[in-house]
Amino acid sequence: MLYKNELIQSFLSGDMRALARTVSMVEAGDLQSLQLLAAFAREGKRARLIGITGPPGAGKSTLAAKLAESLLDRGERVALLLIDPSSPFTGGAILGDRIRMHAIAGRSGLYIRSLGSRGSLGGLSRAVPPIVQLLENFGFDAIILETVGTGQAETDVIETVDSVVVVTVPGLGDDVQAMKAGIIEIADVFVVNKADREGAERTARQMEEALKLGPSDVPVLTTIATTGVGVPALISSLDAHYQTMLADGELAKRRERRLRKALHAYAASLVSVRLAEWVEEQLTGHWADIESGRVDIYSCGRRLAEEFQKGR
Binding mask 113-142 for its own copies (x = CB under 8 A): ----xx-x--xxx----x--x---------
Please list, in sequence order, all residues whose beta carbon lies within 8 angstroms of the beta carbon of residue 300, skipping any fewer than 6 positions away: 286, 290
The backbone region for 128, taken as left when phi is positive above 0, alpha when psi lies in -120 to 50, beta otherwise, is alpha
Q: How far is the CB of 113 from its own copies (least distance, A)?
A: 18
Q: Does 246 bind its own copies (CB under 8 A)?
A: no
Q: Per DSSP, which regions of the chain are E strands?
A: 48-54, 78-83, 110-115, 142-148, 163-168, 189-192, 220-222
Residues 180-209 that bind its own copies (CB under 8 A): 182
Q: Does 22 bind its own copies (CB under 8 A)?
A: no
- The 10 Å Cβ neighbour count of residue 40 is 19
Torsion of CA 225, 229, 235, 238, to 10 degrees: -70
Among 5, 6, 99, 152, binds its own copies (CB under 8 A): 152
Choice between 80 and 134, CB closer to its own copies: 134
Q: How far is the CB of 230 from its own copies (least distance, A)?
A: 27
Choice between 186 and 229, CB closer to its own copies: 186
Q: Does 305 bind its own copies (CB under 8 A)?
A: yes
Among 14, 248, 263, 289, binds its own copies (CB under 8 A): 263
Between CA 50 and CA 52, with CA 51 as vertex, the angle to 5 degrees is 125
- Using the contact rule CB under 8 A, the part of the chain among 68-76, 101-109, 191-199, 275-283 near its own copies is 275-283
**Helices in 198-296 by DSSP H: which ranges?**
200-212, 231-248, 250-283, 287-291
Residues 65-104 that bind its own copies (CB under 8 A): 85-89
Residue of 219, 238, 186, 196 lying closest to 67 (CA atoms): 238
Q: From the centroid of its chain, how far is CA 69?
A: 19
Q: Does 256 bind its own copies (CB under 8 A)?
A: yes
Q: How far apart are CA 91 and CA 82, in angstroms?
A: 10
Question: What is the binding site for its own copies (CB under 8 A)?
Answer: 34-35, 37-38, 41-44, 85-89, 117-118, 120, 123-125, 130, 133, 148-153, 155, 178, 182, 256, 259-260, 262-264, 266-268, 270-272, 274-276, 278-279, 283, 287, 290-293, 296-302, 304-306, 308-309, 312
